[in-house]
Amino acid sequence: MSVNSPPIAGGSSFAAKKTKAQAAKPPSDSSSDWLGTCLLTAKAIAAGGEMLPFPYIKGAFEIVVIVLETVEKVKKNQDDLKELCKDVLNITTIVRDEILDKVAAHGDTAAVKFKGTCEELERCLQDVLRTVEPLHKKSQGLRGRIKDHVKQVGKLTSTADQITSCRNRIGELRSNFMLRTIIQIRNQLHRDALAQVTESINNCPPPSRIFHGRRIILDRMHGYFDQNLGKQHIFLLYGLGGAGKTQIALKFIQESSQFSDIFMVDASTTDTLDAALKNIAGTKNVGDTPQDALKWLASKHHDWLLFFDNADDPKINLNSYFPQCSHGNIVITSRNPGLCVHAGLHSLVSDMEEVDAVELLLKSAAQETTLANKEIAFEIVKALWYLPLAIIQAGAFIAKLGALNSYLALYSHNRARLLSEKPAQSHDDYAWTVYTTWEISFKQLSRPAATLLQLCSFLHHEGISEKMFSEASMYELTATSPSEEELENPWQFITQFLGPTGVWDSFRFTDVTSELRAYSLINFDINSGTFSIHPLVHSWSQSILADQQEYHHSMIAIVGMSISTMTGNYLQLASLWLLPHIDALLQGGTQTTPDFNYEYGSIYNFSGRYQRAADLHTDLLMRQREILGKDHLNTLQTMVYLATTYRELGRFKEAGELDVSVLEKQRQLLGEDHPDTLHAMGSLACTYYALGKLKEAEELEVVVLEKQRQLLGEDHPDTLHAMGSLALTYHDLGKLKEAEELEVVVLDKLRQLRGEDHPDTLHAMGNLASIYAYLGKLKEAEELQVVVLEKQRQLLGEDHPGTLRAMGNLGDTYRNLGKLKEAEELGVVVLEKQRQSLGEDHPDTLRTMGNLANTYYTLDKLKEAEELEVVVLEKRRQFLGEDHPDTLLTMGNLANTYYALDKLKEAEELGVVVLEKRREILGEDHPHTLVAMRNLANTYYALGKLKEAEKLDVLIKQIEGRMG
């Protein structure tokens, strides 16, 4: 590029501005005021941009100044942004010089060619600005802005990651500009040489006048065809109908000039393929058959390009229509990803980038690019899932309607009609609407493939697994199953994929899914092994059903059948990927038809969605009572499951009522030693424990453990579960050594029987850690809790109640270890998540609130501690009662906080109540009673009540002497 370009004809003063701007060089590392220098340079370039009558140039250059001014306001991380600012300025200078050289050499009209370059620069700079702006806003105290942007731009984990990502994007952009310049030079030389040899042929139409975006794919194509000149190149663009494959290919051809002859071939059928090749032979006077054209192309050593458009039929072997030679260039557009076998390089053409989609909508709708219009357009393209054909159709309708802001309301009630309607005015020759383009593919499908697509339209559009169908194939009818008649349709579908022996045949299923993939109606993720359906195809394939209810019920049955075959740890893991599908199938309802409420409720329970589980099991219980009777064993079993869910919801009273009723009936019907009776007894013991009735819980748990040992043996999972429950009760009763001995045995056996990652093993690990913490073995507790938290995150996810519980327990141990900062950070995170997912009044939320208050107390943040403890005490009194251990614990903690705040009368009042009730409930020798005594004695000393204080001190020494 020439720095000293001649002045532009016509007296334009932009050349003078260029010289002035170049005097200010981008900053070096040694610059003392690097940001000030950057700003001076950027403003000079922007001022120069004012002199050219091209708004896109001016707009791009002005954003550079906005970026740098925003960096200037950032209080933190400013030095980290130095290299990014330098890169931004360097790439702007490259663009400025490139435009100037072309304008100087060819006049003002040449600058129009750089519109795409400037638009791409502007998009890139907008990305940079979106990253930098939250850093400035964050420094002003607006928390969480950066977190939202991180999710938007790629789930980056730190400011440094964001800055690095922007620098990489800038680097890519600079490389692309340089590569494009080289290609342009080479193409011009090639074009000049060809002009002397022969007249070239190009029967391709131009791309749509409103073509926008797709720069990444276009640059990839240019880079591929520019390498290894003289060798054969085959590039495949594949994806869903309506994704814009043909337009990308035409845009690439328009931008390229290295091809000697370009032939567009309609590859939709063998007839159109043959006709196109015959036409090539006739045009070049080399014969009149397809073979003549292929022979001529194979013998011709110029850089011809064959463009096979709409090669969608998977039954056609496209290789038969390729010239058999090692030179030439081929571009293919297809819905069939299977054509990748022919291609040297390929690109999936899917949804547009958000910024490009907005621009395309506004262009096609003939709307001004204002901020208000962009905001409306953003909502529209999001509803259209960024599919180009849908956006263009919407734009045409908006142009006819004359109002951008009315479209979404119309679309929400008339989706099928709007996506099926062909606009009268069109920007290209594409003959089909969004829905009709998929209908063409759908009509080619076999019956099993079409049925599978429509069944899956009732699931969530992502994460569809073969397993939900293969597991359903192992379903066996029971006395309480839905009837054979209700399961007839789903079973008929499943049996198509069974082999001669009745076992699931994965090959048959793959055959059917391959059909759907061949038309890009589904996509397969090789890493997860799951399928996805484009959301618009997902809704369309459901909308064309004549009997939606039949398919909906069949899919409910298939998923329910699948769940019923899963057990234990596998069911727990399966719940993570099944949950979105169950949400989609039920869509807020509480009745599954056919009746698989128990199975669906189990998934909600495993997933921590306890209220949904309770709703489903409540409906099931009502029907069972009506149909089977109140005393039927299945009815009683459902009551036990519902009691378990009530405990998770903190509804202990309702759980207790169910447990007492079930145990009484089980004893009458089955006897004292029946496994179901022992299960009901264990459930009631858990409810007693949750209600703080520790002695009643202990009595039941001792009986259950003894009988389980006799009936099932020492190593049976039910025996180990009973042992773990008794260990927890011992822990709260202050029998810490007995609790530790039992829990060590439980954990050791579960590791052998279930493995290290089983939920039961992790539960035992967490319980033992809690016992260690009370025994003062804090390092051992920490080690176990770190393992539990890591595995819960992997197995259950970050926001599952079990994961949050593990996080809270670790935070409590951190506090006891003096790691107060870590304890506070965990406590704040857990409390926020539990408030959102479980609610303000849930026992887990209140426990976390109390633990965070303890951390605040230790950090001497006494007012914050007091505020939390007052709330916790009030709610625990309301939900658990005055005598519950958790209520007394909070009362004692608040008394300590009052003492530290010098509110001694309030501390005394609470301390007296706590000591009195702990003596009554736990006895004089319990560790918690001794703690209450010491705290009250300290308060008496501070109040000057020396006699009362000394009396308590004497009593404490006597008790400690008895305990050894």
Evaluate whether 63 touches 125 at the Cβ level (below 8 Å). yes
Tell me the average pLDDT across 3-29: 37
Mean pLDDT of 682-703: 93
Residue with the two structure tokens 């290609």? 183
What's the mean per-residue pLDDT of the chain?
82
* Coil/strand/helix, residue 286: coil
Across 113-117, 561-565, 829-833, least confident range: 113-117
Give yes or no for residue 828 having a pLDDT over 80.
yes
**Per-residue model confidence (pLDDT) at position 673:** 92
What is the pLDDT, as a whole number, of residue 768? 95
The pLDDT value recorded for residue 472 is: 93
How many C-beta atoms lie closer than 10 Å to residue 38's C-beta? 25
Q: What CA–CA distance (Å, rounded) separates 765 from 388?
A: 53
Give the pLDDT band of residue 571 (cuts 50, 70, 90): confident
pLDDT of residue 152: 42
- What's the pLDDT at 36? 79
Q: Would the pLDDT of 4 be above 70? A: no
Does the structure show a pLDDT above 50 at 890? yes
Question: Higher pLDDT residue, 165 or 915?
Answer: 915
Percentage, residues of the chain above pLDDT 70: 82
Give the span between the Cα atoms of 843 and 327, in whole angstroms: 72
Q: Indicate the range of 201-215, 506-520, 622-636, 669-683 predicted with least confidence.
A: 201-215
Rounded distance between C-alpha atoms, residue 800 and residue 838, angstroms: 10
Q: Are 543 and 414 in contact (CB under 8 A)?
A: no
What φ, ψ does residue 391 adopt, rounded to 5°?
A: -65, -45
pLDDT, residue 444, reads: 85
> What pLDDT score was predicted for residue 243?
83
Q: Is the pLDDT of residue 164 over 70?
A: no
Q: Where are the domains of the chain?
A: 14-192, 198-348, 354-435, 445-497+520-539, 567-689, 692-775, 780-859, 868-964
Supply 744's token pair: 């060590």
Q: Which amino acid makes up residue 174?
A: R
Integer Cα distance of 169 and 165 in angstroms: 6
Contacts with 504 (C-beta within 8 Å, 6 or more apart), sequence order: 470, 473, 474, 497, 498
Question: To the nearest whole percent, how much of the chain has pLDDT over 90?
Answer: 45
Best-predicted range by mean pLDDT (41-55, 150-164, 256-270, 823-837): 823-837
- The stretch 576-596 carries a mean pLDDT of 86
Domains 198-348 and 567-689 share a fold: no
DSSP collapsed to 3 states, 330-391: EEEEECCHHHHHHCCEEEECCCCCHHHHHHHHHHHCCCCCCHHHHHHHHHHHHHCCCCHHHH
- Over residues 31-39, mean pLDDT: 69
Instruction: Examine the pLDDT at 720 and tell me if it is beyond 90.
Output: yes
Per-residue pLDDT for 15 more than 70? no
Residues in the chain: 964
What's the rounded mean pLDDT across residues 375-387?
85
pLDDT value of position 61: 72
Gap between the Cα atoms of 417 and 624, Å rounded: 44
Instruction: Tell the CATH superfamily of the 780-859 domain.
Output: Tetratricopeptide repeat domain (1.25.40.10)
pLDDT at 399: 76
Instruction: Give the per-residue pLDDT at 381.
Output: 86
- pLDDT, one tens digit per residue, over 407-463 is 777 777 666 666 666 554 444 454 456 676 778 788 889 999 999 999 999 999 999
Look at residue 289 and tell me whether its pLDDT is greater than 70.
Answer: yes
Q: Which CATH architecture has domain 567-689?
A: Alpha Horseshoe (1.25)
Kindly report the three-state secondary structure assignment for every residue of 41-70.
HHHHHHHHHCCCCCHHHHHHHHHHHHHHHH
* CB 495, CB 472: distance < 8 Å: no
* Range picked from 114-118, 290-294, 542-546, 647-651 for highest mean pLDDT: 290-294
pLDDT of residue 636: 94
CATH number of 198-348: 3.40.50.300
Query: What is the structure's pLDDT at 52?
Result: 63
- Across the range 38-52, mean pLDDT stands at 74
| CATH superfamily ID and name for 692-775 | Tetratricopeptide repeat domain (1.25.40.10)
How much is the pLDDT for 182? 46
CATH code of the domain occupying 868-964? 1.25.40.10
- 330 in Cβ contact with 233 (< 8 Å): yes
- Can you give the pLDDT at residue 352? 81
Per-residue CA distances from 947 to 177, 245, 617 (Å): 88, 91, 59
Q: What's the pLDDT at 577?
A: 85
